[in-house]
Amino acid sequence: MLKILLERARQGHRTMRWPDGPPPPLPERFRGAPVVDASACVEGCRACVEACPTDAITLEPAPRVDLGRCLFCPDCVEACPSGAITHDRGFSLATRTRADLVVGGADGGPAAKAKALDTEARRLFGRSLKLRQVSAGGCNGCEADTNVLGTVGWDLGRFGVQFVASPRHADGLLVTGPVSRNMEGALRKTWEAIPAPKLVIAVGACAISGGPFMGHPEVLGGVEAGLGPTLGGVPVDLFVPGCPPHPLTILDGLLRLLGRIEG
């Protein structure tokens, strides 16, 4: 025990200072949202559309990218003959609505950043938010990056946000994975066990749209498609795109939802 305490003292403060200070440095391989320069597109070219494995890109009436489907892979960038598609370095990608994940178009605008919950919801959840995390058929990529938030470097608990073992102790449901048919019942029962009022957070392309598994007969295609029809519609309060989303993207979305970050 003494050796552990001495080593901890030697290492000093390890928790990142963001959002009160600068964010931690992102690795060189980090890819933010794809950005399409419509002025550089070659007329009649559909190379990016044909290269996209999840049909996230549309060209009519203007180039658009659906971040809810996007895997943030470089296939479209590599396929574009004119270099019209690039990835930015932004990590703030979470939105409150599914429609806000569709970026580009005539105005070429980025995704609208997630807005905070209403005043009453922030009063209930702003200082203490307990989440039950369910992997509904995920590959463990989003699950791993969600778990990272509990480590000493991130310390999600300092914001009053914690993951709990029982849905009856939870304020909301955080879902990863495309909602396979084998997980449909478990996910529904978990949702029903969480006392109202409650939140739903979809993390990753799979939980938002089905990701690379969309259209498979054994996959329902995300939280809204998986829970909505059986429960009469389940509104998702936060969409966090990515495959998987960076832990900083997940944390940024959660803090914006709770009104801890603005602008």
Q: In the chain, how many domains are there?
A: 1
Tell me the pTM: 0.93
Q: Which of 102, 107, 113, 98 is nearest to 58 (CA)?
A: 102
Is residue 258 pLDDT above 70, yes or no?
yes
| Domain CATH code at residue 172 | 3.40.50.12280
Is 160 contained in some domain? yes
Phi, psi of 168 (to 5 degrees): -75, -15
Is 99 contained in some domain? no
Average pLDDT, the chain: 92
Is 222 contained in some domain? yes
Contacts for 141 with CB less than 8 Å, ≥ 6 apart? 204, 243, 244
Is 215 contained in some domain? yes
Kindly report, residue by residue over 161-201, the tens digit of the pLDDT. 999 999 999 999 999 999 999 999 999 999 999 999 999 99
Is 146 contained in some domain? yes
Kindly report, residue by residue over 20-52, the tens digit of the pLDDT. 999 999 999 999 999 888 888 988 899 999 999
Q: What domain range includes position 135?
A: 119-257
Is 202 contained in some domain? yes
Is 40 contained in some domain? no
User: What does the buried/exposed string (b/e) look like for 109-140 if buried means 16 or more CB atoms within 10 Å of the residue's CB?
Assistant: ebbebbebbeeebeeebbeebbbbbbbbbbbe
CA atoms of 47 and 59, how far apart (whole Å)? 11
What is the pLDDT confidence band of residue 2, given thresholds at 50, 70 and 90? confident
Is 148 contained in some domain? yes
SS (H, E, C) the chain: CHHHHHHHHHHCCCCCCCCCCCCCCCCCCCCCCEEECHHHCCCCCCHHHHHCCCCCEECCCCCEEECCCCCCCCHHHHHCCCCCEEECCCCCCCECCCHHHEEECCCCECCCCCCCCCHHHHHHHCCCEEEEEEECCCCCHHHHHHHHCCCCCCCHHHHCEEECCCHHHCCEEEEECCCEHHHHHHHHHHHHHCCCCCEEEEECHHHHHCHHHCCCCCECCCHHHHHHHHHCCCCCCEEECCCCCCHHHHHHHHHHHCCCCCC
Beta strands at 199-203 and 238-240: parallel, antiparallel or unpaired:
parallel
- The type of residue at 114 is A
